Structure 1
Amino acid sequence: MTPQTREQKMLSLAPRANVVFEINLNAVQANFQIISAVVGPYVRVAAVVKSDGYGLGLIEIARALVAAGCDLLFVGDLHEALLLRSSKIGAAVAVFCDEFTRLRQYYRSNRLIPVVNNCGELDAISASGEAQTYFLNVETGLSRVGLTFDDVRRRYLWGTFNRHPPSVVLSHLACGDRVADAMNVLQRNRFRAISDLLKPARHSLAASAGVWLGKSYHFDMVRVGSALYGLNNAGIQPNPLQPVVRLRAKILEVRNVRKGEAVGYGATFRTVRASRIAILGIGYKHGVPWACGNKISVRFAGYSAPLIGRMSMEYAVADATDVPEALCGPGVFAEMLGENFTVNDLAAAADVYPQDVLTRLGAGCTRRYLNASYPAGESRAGQPMQATDPTTPRSSREVASE
């Protein structure tokens, strides 16, 4: 037997992880197919994998989505785009925002599609005189980035778009998660006015929440992020999406405390009876919101145990008095997130944004993946996925295969 190195010996002595954060790639693929079915065969579903795949792992998520049939990925910056390219992910890649004017050579050499967000970037494309595939982001009511209607009209009159037409015109809804909000109609009408002027190959207004607003918001491309990862931010009932993540924490110690004892910092909880408490090896360092102390429960098999006291950096405390002792001894794992209590539920309890919870958990926990339905990087037929032109309408063969 080969002798162990000092580092290998140290690793073998390391304790098992106190936190298990599972990511179900099958569920990510299933959610992609669910969204595809909702929008129909003539609307392309692009996947937003920015911010390290919403904290779930850029490369792993992208491979699973491409294997499920996705051919266009949106990332947040050039760094993420280059990671996808170096990993041989077979899909078109669009970059939401990263100094296209200064870094243009990297876009060209790596076949990356810039999302043009301002007049300076558009003017740089026009001034170069070179052919450049790009997506044009237009401002319709979010007041974040994108060309205004006046910007677009001015450059339309100058002939900019005749010389350098965008492949896709896109915008972003401010209130897509609120079905009855009048802002949605206002932004849709503004978007139509710009699209009618430019007549691009494709139009994209809706992101995840906007998908549920109906066909008049789908146009011919939707950009889906949070829904792929199981977040039901629009509150659709019954929830059509599959949960993607499961979070479990190990019991480090079980102890008995008397009635009237304080638990945790600030003594925000005092026992009202003699209690048996379980100390869990999870805290806000792992991405669990500090504000969820005294507000949520964990589960041991079919039993629920409320978290009591404030969350600590590396610890949480569950009142396990009503849980059979055989189910909650040291070394046993409690479930914090799963099918019965999702990221949306945790976010609501802590009054934070679900995407905030997901990205923090992904950054703070060691990720464990449940395999995708078919090998990453391969199509359903087992052939390597090839990057396709996202502006090309789906063929009848593609439609029939879904």
Structure 2
Amino acid sequence: MPDKPSPTLRLAIDKDALAHNWRALDRMSGAANAGAAVKADCYGLGVDSCVPVLRDAGAKQFFVAHWSEVEAVARHVPAASISVLHGTVKPDDATFARATGVIPIINSLHQAQVWLEAGGGPCHLMVDTGINRLGLSMHEVGDPLIGHLEIDVLMSHLACADEDSAMNGEQLAAFRAIIPTVRHKSVSFANSAGIALGSDYHFDLTRPGLSLYGGIPRAELEGEIRQVAMPQAAIIQTRRLAAGDRVGYNATFTASSAMPVGVVSLGYADGFLRSWAGGHLLHGNAALPILGKVSMDMIVVDLSQAPDLREGDWVDVPYFLPDAAQQTSLGQYELLTILGSRLKAR
């Protein structure tokens, strides 16, 4: 087979920034150790690119959501360091966990029963303190099934850590009341934003995710967290518009005068959604405004500030997450996890 043509999309990962972010979050966790949430293919940035960096930076516990995510992570770290947030819903989940040494997070009495019937072993226990997603209800903590579990980490999850909400303190108080009633080895409560809430929320283990990959959910993290994801796209055609020419679907942009434009290999199939309309790409310090609507596979940009750009040249997508979130009205989590597979193709 001949060599594949060069891609017209690429995603640069700043591995030094990723390692820096873990170390910063570990330091901010005080006496607690920082783990690493690596679910959703490391929030869209790639397990093979990110997990070795996090491991080498010092992370020792890794969290995924689905059992299907285990295999990719286990290529880089011991299976016993991987925990699965969705727990033992089915008997084959428990069978897989026992065979591999991966740690299930038990979220309900049903999951506890499945795990114990499979033979049990080390597990974590999630207790719901108010977010009403996964987790054992607080009134179920005293059930005899829970007393039979071999719980390593007792955990809960904050609902409003990215806000100055009274609910943070309410959940903390509820969790503190539960801790003495459950036999366990260590305690975990804080995600990225929870780390920034302070030492009361840190306990023994923190579970940063978003901020590892450049997200800044609270002001206290500003200056601590560096940008990790840097998408780039190639110009695949240049042209010159005349006054009155229109651009894209529904002709939402009309040129008021002659102008150079570029067609860029990037669209909503790559996670660059139509909410970017009205924004810009970058070439060095030059802003390249987006003209008209975002299409599935391409956008058109104004090259007036960079008229020397040619077909095959690369332009940058401004992906500093707080700014991109403000521009698009998308969440920082969404901006990472929607990045399409073509950006990561090799």
Residue in 2 aligned with 1:108?
98
CA separation of 1:331 and 1:176: change in aligned 2, threshold 3 A: same
Pick which of 26-35 and 262-271 moved more: 262-271
CA separation of 1:329 and 1:285: change in aligned 2, threshold 3 A: same
Q: Does structure 1 residue 68 correspond to structure 2 residue 68?
A: no
2:311 to 330, 334, 338: 330
1:360 to 338, 343, 346: 338
TM-score of the pair, normalised by structure 1: 0.80
Matched to 2:77, the amino acid is I
* Structure 2 counterparts to residues 109-148 of structure 1, below 5 A: 109-126=99-116, 130=119, 132-148=121-137
CA separation of 1:237 and 1:259: change in aligned 2, threshold 3 A: farther
1:257 to 227, 235, 241: 241
Partner deviation per Cα, 1:308-362 (whole Å, 9 max, x = no partner): 1110111111111133x23x2222111113xxx5133223212112222212215
| Structure 2 gap segments, 5+ residues each | none
The answer to whether the Cα contact below 8 Å between 1:100 and 1:114 also exists between their aligned partners in 2 is no
1:315 to 298, 318, 321: 298
Partner deviation per Cα, 1:14-42 (whole Å, 9 max, x = no partner): 3x2211211122221111101011112x2
The answer to whether the Cα contact below 8 Å between 2:127 and 2:155 also exists between their aligned partners in 1 is yes
Deviation at residue 363 of structure 1 after TM alignment: 2.9
The answer to whether the Cα contact below 8 Å between 1:297 and 1:318 also exists between their aligned partners in 2 is yes
1:173 to 149, 158, 165: 158
Percent of aligned positions that are identical: 27
Residue in 1 aligned with 2:166?
182
- Structure 2 distance, partners of 1:45, 1:279, is 43
SS at 1:190 equivalent: helix
Matched to 2:198, the amino acid is G
The answer to whether the Cα contact below 8 Å between 1:232 and 1:239 also exists between their aligned partners in 2 is no
- Structure 2 distance, partners of 1:237, 1:124, is 40
Deviation at residue 98 of structure 1 after TM alignment: 4.7
Matched to 2:343, the amino acid is C
Query: Could you say what the CA RMSD is over the residues aligned between the two structures, in angstroms?
Result: 2.0
The answer to whether the Cα contact below 8 Å between 2:62 and 2:81 also exists between their aligned partners in 1 is yes
- Structure 1 distance, partners of 2:181, 2:244, is 70
The answer to whether the Cα contact below 8 Å between 1:56 and 1:367 also exists between their aligned partners in 2 is no
SS at 1:28 equivalent: helix
Tell which has more relative contact order, 1 or 2 (C-alpha 8 A, sep 6+): 1
Residue in 1 aligned with 2:45?
56
The answer to whether the Cα contact below 8 Å between 1:117 and 1:138 also exists between their aligned partners in 2 is yes
- Structure 2 distance, partners of 1:127, 1:254, is 64
The answer to whether the Cα contact below 8 Å between 1:287 and 1:363 also exists between their aligned partners in 2 is no
Alignment size in residue pairs: 344
* Structure 2 counterparts to residues 146-157 of structure 1, below 5 A: 146-153=135-142, 155=143
- Structure 1 distance, partners of 2:232, 2:171, is 41
Partner deviation per Cα, 1:79-100 (whole Å, 9 max, x = no partner): 2113333x25236111111535
Matched to 2:275, the amino acid is A
Q: Does structure 1 residue 33 correspond to structure 2 residue 23?
A: yes
The answer to whether the Cα contact below 8 Å between 1:281 and 1:315 also exists between their aligned partners in 2 is yes
- Structure 2 distance, partners of 1:306, 1:235, is 29
The answer to whether the Cα contact below 8 Å between 1:280 and 1:318 also exists between their aligned partners in 2 is yes
TM-score of the pair, normalised by structure 2: 0.93
Matched to 1:332, the amino acid is D
SS at 1:307 equivalent: strand
SS at 1:314 equivalent: coil
Pick which of 229-238 and 202-211 moved more: 229-238
The answer to whether the Cα contact below 8 Å between 2:112 and 2:149 also exists between their aligned partners in 1 is no
Q: Does structure 1 residue 18 correspond to structure 2 residue 2?
A: no
Matched to 2:125, the amino acid is L
- Structure 1 distance, partners of 2:199, 2:40, is 28
CA separation of 1:322 and 1:111: change in aligned 2, threshold 3 A: same
Deviation at residue 168 of structure 1 after TM alignment: 1.1
Pick which of 230-239 and 141-150 moved more: 230-239
Partner deviation per Cα, 1:245-288 (whole Å, 9 max, x = no partner): 11111112222112233221122222233221111111111111
Q: Does structure 1 residue 286 correspond to structure 2 residue 270?
A: yes
Matched to 1:300, the amino acid is H
Rg: which structure is higher? 1
Matched to 1:123, the amino acid is Q
CA separation of 1:253 and 1:163: change in aligned 2, threshold 3 A: closer
Deviation at residue 224 of structure 1 after TM alignment: 1.0
CA separation of 1:43 and 1:269: change in aligned 2, threshold 3 A: same
